[in-house]
Structure 1
Amino acid sequence: MNMSVEAKNVRKRILDMAYYSGVSTHLGGALSIVDILTVLYRDVLNYDFSNPTWEKRDRFILSKGHCVMSLFAIFVENGLISEDEIQSYMKDGSLFSSHPIMNLAHGIECSSGSLGQGISLALGIAKAAKLKKEDFKVYTLVGNGECNEGSVWEAFMLAGQWKLDNFTIIIDNNGLQSDGDSANIIDLSNLTTKLSGFGFEIIEVDGHNEDELRKAYNVDFNGKSKIIIANTIKGKGISFMENNNEWHHNRLIKEKYDCALSEL
């Protein structure tokens, strides 16, 4: 698959953050969601990077908060975070750490990282928009490992019950999680079948194919909430990281950094 220039630049920035931080970072999952977020922010969200507190903006909540490097990289690419600011990533006193800290001026809609928390908040924001007759849409991204959490399934049930046609859940389905192969921990294979009875509009796509992602985002809600199951590769774009769970959380030394950059 050809990688877009935007997605390639985001991946380079992720590598920069990981290397220059000098500490272990969540590289694998950050790389698997790059294409999902690139298409979302470039082609889908009603969002003004020059006015991130605009009340009518669409909201994006990163529920799998440990993959925030991908979000930071997109914000730097679009001028919402400056080059100088992102150099403080993971340093003492920085606004930018291993998980999102709510900061609307820098695009972060909420603090997240406690798995299952972000999707629950996103659901509440979508419901509030309906009650207040606001037109903005809400998007949230959860991980396949995060789907082990009961609070995620409570959110699935409630979103299906409420039929919020302003609410999209994206599942980063990369098949791995912190403790290993997801199928050996809690097997969530065939998610489409498992979720079909909840009353969603469900679309399953290649999470690295920008055309498929764009079409999925634009599928009509048909009076329901929407789930996009994005089948991805953990560590996508860097051969020695792809499907290698050692890179769920690891330190990027110079030799590996140079190798990864050369691949991109």
Structure 2
Amino acid sequence: MDTAVAIRGQARTDADTARAARRRILGFAAEQTVHLGSSLSVVDLLVAVLREAATGPAGTGDPNRERVLLSKGHAVWALYAVLAELGRLDPERLGPLAGHPADQVPGVDAATGALGHGLSIGAGLAEATRLRGRDERTFVVLGDGELNEGSVWEAVMFAAHRRLGRLVALVDRNGMQQEGATADVLDLSPLAAKWRSFGWRVREVDGHDHAALREVVRATADPADRPVVLLARTVKGKGVPFMEHSAAWHTGRLDRAQLDAALAVLGQDRTVARA
């Protein structure tokens, strides 16, 4: 069973929160073109990590809080939606929403846009935490297509060399990128073996299994002297059958009929989609 939490006075499980977040993403896509496929695939992962991270009150600037960086910044619509469903962000008060994370938005710890930079930022934050003798974790969410960037592997080497045991990378392994299947664009296999060869601890998990995600994310709190990567197997466009496994829905804007069809699949929810 998913852990229930109070959201706006209602008991809500991780699955409830994720479903509501997906409906909210669809609402965003009824208003403007958004990165739909990758946002829908990463929702469950963000629910797990944002529930786990001891981030403290949004906007406090507490230097000792745990940080969550969305390196695959084009999936910011999932971040907006999950933060909103957790009661940490009110998108209606922000005006037009940017298509990549901007660090003036509550809940966003670093601006990201160009792929391949988030893990380097996270490694720097984790190194600073180590030098201060602190124990907070830094979480970095990456896309599997993003792993084509060489800068990712520079950060992987640095983090292992500096033994940054409080750094947690989470890979949204949906197997698709803008140009098609990751195996066709630039094959990453054997991915787990690659990370291990660089000195990282590796955990593999079903990226849509809330109980399994919660377990592996919580386990990163255990003391360690090596960074850890969670390879989460996901489905691009998860939750909307006509979008799943389709590079055609990497980006998109929904017309009324498409929105209604997608919302019908996700079922009824207390959250009212924008649009």
Indicate whether the TM-score tops 0.5: yes
TM-score of the pair, normalised by structure 1: 0.91
Could you say which residue in structure 2 is the equivalent of 1:97? 98
Q: Quote the offset at 1:221 in angstroms.
A: 5.2
1:33 aligned to which of 38, 42, 49: 42
CA distance in 1, matches of 2:226, 2:73: 26
2:78 aligned to which of 70, 87, 106: 70
For the Cα contact (< 8 Å) 1:206–1:230, is it kept in 2? yes
Could you say which residue in structure 2 is the equivalent of 1:91? none
CA distance in 2, matches of 1:221, 1:11: 34
Q: Which runs of 5+ in 1 are unaligned?
A: 89-93
The secondary structure found in structure 2 opposite 1:53 is coil
CA distance in 2, matches of 1:238, 1:51: 33
CA distance in 2, matches of 1:225, 1:166: 6
For the Cα contact (< 8 Å) 1:101–1:108, is it kept in 2? yes
Change (3 A) 1:83 1:128: closer
2:21 aligned to which of 3, 7, 10: 10
Could you say which residue in structure 2 is the equivalent of 1:160? 160
Number of matched residues?
253
CA distance in 2, matches of 1:249, 1:84: 22
CA distance in 1, matches of 2:116, 2:92: 32
Change (3 A) 1:37 1:150: same
Post-superposition CA distance 1:22-61 (Å, at most 9, x none): x32100000000000111112x111234555233210011
For the Cα contact (< 8 Å) 2:103–2:109, is it kept in 1? yes
AA of the residue aligned to 1:101: A
For the Cα contact (< 8 Å) 2:59–2:107, is it kept in 1? no
AA of the residue aligned to 2:30: Y
For the Cα contact (< 8 Å) 1:28–1:241, is it kept in 2? yes
Q: Quote the offset at 1:83 in angstroms.
A: 4.7
Change (3 A) 1:186 1:159: same
AA of the residue aligned to 1:67: A
Pairs within 5 Å for 1:49-128: 49=57, 52-85=60-93, 88=95, 94=96, 96-103=97-104, 106-128=106-128
Change (3 A) 1:83 1:192: closer
Q: Quote the offset at 1:151 in angstroms.
A: 0.2
**How large is the RMSD of aligned CA atoms in angstroms?**
1.8
Q: Quote the offset at 1:162 in angstroms.
A: 1.3
1:232 aligned to which of 190, 210, 234: 234
Could you say which residue in structure 1 is the equivalent of 2:256? 254
Could you say which residue in structure 2 is the equivalent of 1:205? 205
CA distance in 2, matches of 1:84, 1:170: 29
CA distance in 2, matches of 1:60, 1:25: 21
Post-superposition CA distance 1:124-145 (Å, at most 9, x none): 0110111122222100011110
The secondary structure found in structure 2 opposite 1:34 is helix
Q: Quote the offset at 1:168 in angstroms.
A: 0.2
AA of the residue aligned to 2:203: I
AA of the residue aligned to 1:133: G
Higher mean C-alpha deviation, range 148-157 or range 47-56: 47-56
CA distance in 2, matches of 1:38, 1:195: 24
Higher mean C-alpha deviation, range 212-221 or range 67-76: 212-221
The secondary structure found in structure 2 opposite 1:136 is coil
CA distance in 1, matches of 2:153, 2:63: 29
Q: Quote the offset at 1:215 in angstroms.
A: 1.6
AA of the residue aligned to 2:16: V
CA distance in 2, matches of 1:217, 1:25: 28
